[in-house]
Amino acid sequence: MSAVVAGTKAKLQDLLPGRIGDNKAFSDSYVESLIMAGFNDVAERCELVRATETISMLDDTLVYDLDSSFINITSVAFLPDGGDEDGILTVATLDDLDRKSRKWRDDRGTRPEYYTLLSAPGIPETSTDAADGSQILVYRALSDATDAELRIYGVAVGGSTTNTSEDIQRMCLVPYTMAQLKAIADPRSAHGHYDKFLEGCEKVRARYGHKYTETIGRGAC
């Protein structure tokens, strides 16, 4: 384990001796930006980072803002008094809500049963309180939301940059950054490095995703 930027940069320096640093072919800051771009890409492709957001519910409110680090939402739990979870909401479309109740916006209850998403997850508000980012809409709105919360679970970008496994750096981040660094002087080699990056991501995704999937569905062979 080593820090994402320091660990990956050390491995790159072995491949590009004397070419990374101030007044050299590639500045430190540029290489570090590329490594973080790769870290973002790996997080999305391999779905390595699980995130949670807790939202305090409000009286008579249907729509809440979502954190922009989410890539997708896997489940939404309801916490009646902000303590323990008490069940999850069912995903629905607005058409589904129409079928449930023609005037669903006016319905009130003691717990929300369904949710839908307005815009794909991950869109930030362009400026503070602009309300133009990703949102979640719940049905029903609560008439009395005292202490009630929603807990959003999903896959996200970000995560700790202090420790990343050495092989993720070697299989994914190094070839990704090499592809970017070679893109101008040697585009053919850049494509080769990028292919290697994709292959590395498949291995990482298979390895980390396997533990979630092997007991689901039709059972072990």
Partner 1 sequence: METWQDIKDFFFPAMQDTETSQTFFTTTQAVNWANGALWEMAQHAEYLDVIQEQNTVDGTSAYSVGPAGEFPYAIWRVEIDDEAIRPTTADAFRRSDRTWESNSGKPRFYYTDLFTNASTYRLGLYWEPNGVYELRTYSYGVPAQVAEDADTDKLQVPQWAIYGVLWYMLSEAYSAETRRQNPETAGFYRRLYDDMLDRLRARSNNRLSEKTWVVGSSPSHFIDNFWHDLPDTIPEP
Q: Which residues bind partner 1 (CB under 8 A)?
A: 27, 29-30, 33, 36-37, 40-41, 43-47, 68-69, 71-75, 91-95, 98, 102-106, 116-127, 132-134, 155, 157, 179, 183-184, 187-188, 190-191, 194, 198, 201-203, 205-206, 209-210, 217-218, 221
Contact 138, 62 (CB under 8 A): yes
d(CA 138, CA 92): 9
Contact 172, 204 (CB under 8 A): yes
d(CA 61, CA 141): 5
CB of 38 to partner 1, least distance (A): 10
Q: First vs last Cα of the chain: how many Å apart?
A: 34
Closest CB to partner 1 among 109 and 209? 209
Closest CB to partner 1 among 83 and 185? 185
Run of H or E residues at 115: strand 114-118
Closest CB to partner 1 among 82 and 209? 209
Closest CB to partner 1 among 23 and 81? 23
